[in-house]
Amino acid sequence: MLGAAGPFLRPQRRAGTEERRRRVAPLAASPPPAERGEEPLLRGIFEIGKRSCDVVLSARRLRWSPIVPESPAGDSSTVLQDEEEIIEMKDVFSVKLKRRRFVGQKKGGTLLGITIFKCLHKEENKLTDCAVHLNNLSEDHCNSWFRHLKEILNGFQNRPKSLKVFVNPSSHKREATHVYYEKVAPLFKLADVKTDVTVTEYEGHALSVLKECELQAFDGVVCVGGDGSVSEVAHGLLLKAQIDAGKGTDYIPAPVRASVPLGVIPAGTTNILAHTLYGIKHAVTATLHIVMGHIQPVDVCTFSTPSKLLRFGFSAMFGFGARTLALAEKHRWMPSNQRKDFAFIKTLADLKPEECELSFLPLQIPQEDCHENDRKKKEKNRKKGSKDQWHKIQGHFLNVSIMAIPCLCSMAPRGLAPNTRLNNGSMALIVVQNTSRTEFIKHLKRYASVKNQFNFPFVETYTVQEVKLQPRRKSGLDAKENTYLNATSAEGNYPWNIDGDLMEEASEVHVRVHPQLINLYGVNTDDLESSKATCNCI
């Protein structure tokens, strides 16, 4: 279909005859479908970047080439095929009719053409948005193209139309509200995504809202905040799924999957989940992954006592990592960075091992299934372990980490658990035996480098599917040790750091990994390509 050209065909400098023969093709000739691999839906003329262009739309891509008249009179035109530019439709997230309006005018206005908004991949895993303007004054021409473009966009799966959003105004430097309304909300509006926003007022607010929320009205849930906020929303989503499925919430050996995906907008200090999903702390990148509908299935752990479910989570630390968080929580009156630095230094100065018993079930997956992505097969393999395969170690440990995801962050670019993946159905168990403070600091420093942080004689790592941790309260503690324990946890309880959220428990904690229990908006950072891109936005 050849649309109206409008007033945009302009005389250009004439090239030599031989040069034109090499560079141009007749405007009337359609590109052979065999060469393009697809059938054109529309073809027309628009002005792009002050040049008249032959524009062709197919279901997969939009492409255009400048037009050069054969003669000053413009009686015959040719297309510069070697200057063709292409936009993949899978990278487009919005299309709008472009109009000129007077000040204060909200509707109507003079039609100028169509604006296409696309997602541009830049360096360091960063995404940004850019616009391409297709100018043409014909109402019929533009409306026809607009309808076809919208139909193509509506055909992409997983792109949300309605989102439930939680904003934690207290996270980090109290920047979450600014991040959402200045950077995130405009992109949601541009992509025609409707939102229902709850600004949380207290810890547990998001959890209480999710328990009563009718999630079938939304395509996804988004959390704007730090690791603790994201952990609460993820726990709430999964808890809501169990309630809707008629399962009890006291003990859940086989939980059902979350009904909608979760999006993470980083607005905290560490932002481990955001780094792991996007490879970068960047609110616009996170938002574009959401509006583009990039879905990544992710493994989740359950943390339980013998009689009840404590919570869902992606990672946990017991010992040093948990004591540091517990001490920081007791100094909430301090600014965020100062509070965490103080807690880290204080806990390091009072470094003490925890006496406990660890039981774990090593992952048993046949070699031929090691790269299997099917959730049911992984679950079947996970259940192959029997009781006599449990391993047990007992001793004094400075820190125990149990992680179902790599846990990337700016302070640990390789990840706190670099040998695990987002959805391989396993957990990394990292045990740091008692050692000197000097050696422990060397171990911690390795996280910020490219060196192997586990290459120490006092560090042991295992790939597991279940872990049981039973603390052993030492008898005959001296006054200093009692002060250390009471300063970081409630009497009789031991602190746990679950995704940056504090949990306290006195009894044995049983940790299980459940393959691909939740979908998150994002990608597998193993597949990200950090390459520069050139923007053709005009």
pLDDT digits (tens, 9 = 90+) for 114-166: 999 999 988 778 999 999 999 999 999 999 999 999 999 999 989 999 999 99
Tokens representing 81 are 């095929």
Residue 512 reports pLDDT greater than 90: yes
Provide the pLDDT for residue 73: 56
Q: Which of 266, 294, 322 is the last residue of a domain?
A: 294
Provide the pLDDT for residue 490: 56
Provide the pLDDT for residue 173: 75
Containing structural domain, residue 498: 311-364+389-473+494-516
CATH of the domain at 98: 2.30.29.30
DSSP 411: T
Is residue 313 within 8 A of residue 298, CB to CB? The reply is no
Q: Give pLDDT tens digits for 299-327.
A: 999 999 988 899 999 999 999 999 999 99
DSSP H/E element including 26:
strand 24-26
Q: How far apart are CA 93 and CA 535, in angstroms?
A: 16
Is residue 225 within 8 A of residue 176, CB to CB? The reply is yes
Residue 412 reports pLDDT greater than 90: no
Q: How far apart are CA 226 and CA 35, in angstroms?
A: 49
Number of Cα atoms under 13 Å in the Cβ half of residue 482? 5
Mean pLDDT of 344-363: 94
Answer yes or no: is 408 within a domain.
Answer: yes
Which band of pLDDT confidence, cut at 50, 70 and 90, is reported for residue 75? low
Residue 16 reports pLDDT greater than 90: no
Count of the separate structural domains present in the chain: 3
CATH of the domain at 448: 2.60.200.40
Q: Give pLDDT tens digits for 261-274.
A: 999 999 888 889 99
Answer yes or no: is 265 within a domain.
Answer: yes
Q: How far apart are CA 183 and CA 422, in angstroms?
A: 27
Indicate if 315 and 455 belong to the same structural domain.
yes
Tokens representing 465 are 């599917």
Residue 258 reports pLDDT greater than 90: yes
Indicate if 118 and 243 belong to the same structural domain.
no
Answer yes or no: is 438 within a domain.
Answer: yes
Range in 6-15, 26-35, 104-113, 422-431 with the lowest mean pLDDT: 6-15
Indicate if 276 and 321 belong to the same structural domain.
no
Which band of pLDDT confidence, cut at 50, 70 and 90, is reported for residue 108? confident
DSSP conformation letters of 4-15: --TT-----PPP
If one compares 281 and 483, the residue with the highest pLDDT of the two is: 281
Answer yes or no: is 537 within a domain.
Answer: no
For 395, phi then psi, to 5°, come to 170, -160
- Output the CA torsion sign for 234, 237, 243, 245: negative
Mean pLDDT of 16-22: 40
Indicate if 56 and 92 belong to the same structural domain.
yes
CATH of the domain at 287: 3.40.50.10330
Tokens representing 228 are 């603790």
Q: Give pLDDT tens digits for 446-466.
A: 888 877 888 899 999 999 999
Q: How far apart are CA 246 and CA 264, in angstroms?
A: 28
Answer yes or no: is 205 within a domain.
Answer: yes
Three-class DSSP labels, 215-251? HHHCCEEEEEECHHHHHHHHHHHHHHHHHHCCCCCCC
Average pLDDT, the chain: 83
Answer yes or no: is 529 within a domain.
Answer: no
Q: What is the pTM of this model?
A: 0.83
Answer yes or no: is 46 within a domain.
Answer: yes
Q: How far apart are CA 497 and CA 192, in angstroms?
A: 38
Residue 516 reports pLDDT greater than 50: yes
Q: Which of 136, 155, 174 is the last residue of a domain?
A: 155
Indicate if 90 and 140 belong to the same structural domain.
yes
Q: How far apart are CA 476 and CA 37, in angstroms?
A: 78
Distance (Å) of CA 108 to CA 101, 314, 355: 7, 50, 72
Residue 76 CB contacts under 8 Å (≥ 6 apart), including other chains: 69, 70
Indicate if 331 and 455 belong to the same structural domain.
yes
Q: How far apart are CA 420 and CA 29, in angstroms?
A: 54
Amino acid code (one letter) for 57: L
Mean pLDDT of 493-505: 92
Report helix, strand or coil for 212.
helix
Indicate if 340 and 260 belong to the same structural domain.
no
Indicate if 177 and 265 belong to the same structural domain.
yes
Residue 31 reports pLDDT greater than 70: no
Of the chain, the percentage scoring pLDDT greater than 70 comes to 80
If one compares 512 and 383, the residue with the highest pLDDT of the two is: 512
User: Residue 316, class by beta-carbon neighbours within 10 Å (0-12 exposed, 13-18 middle, 19+ buried)?
Assistant: buried
Strand partners, 392: 359
Is residue 442 within 8 A of residue 456, CB to CB? The reply is yes
Indicate if 457 and 350 belong to the same structural domain.
yes
Which band of pLDDT confidence, cut at 50, 70 and 90, is reported for residue 488? low
Mean pLDDT of 231-247: 92
Provide the pLDDT for residue 61: 93
Indicate if 319 and 465 belong to the same structural domain.
yes
Mean pLDDT of 12-41: 48
Indicate if 400 and 451 belong to the same structural domain.
yes
- Output the CA torsion sign for 60, 66, 70, 74: positive
Mean pLDDT of 178-185: 95
Mean pLDDT of 337-346: 88
| Nearest CA-CA partner of 424 in 236, 296, 256 | 296
Of the chain, the percentage scoring pLDDT greater than 90 comes to 58
Label residues 148-163 b or e (16+ Cβ within 10 Å = b).
bbeebbeeeeebbeeb
Answer yes or no: is 98 within a domain.
Answer: yes
Q: Which of 233, 262, 294 is the last residue of a domain?
A: 294
Indicate if 192 and 333 belong to the same structural domain.
no
Provide the pLDDT for residue 6: 42
Provide the pLDDT for residue 81: 64
Q: Which single residue is written with the structure tokens 């509506």?
A: 154
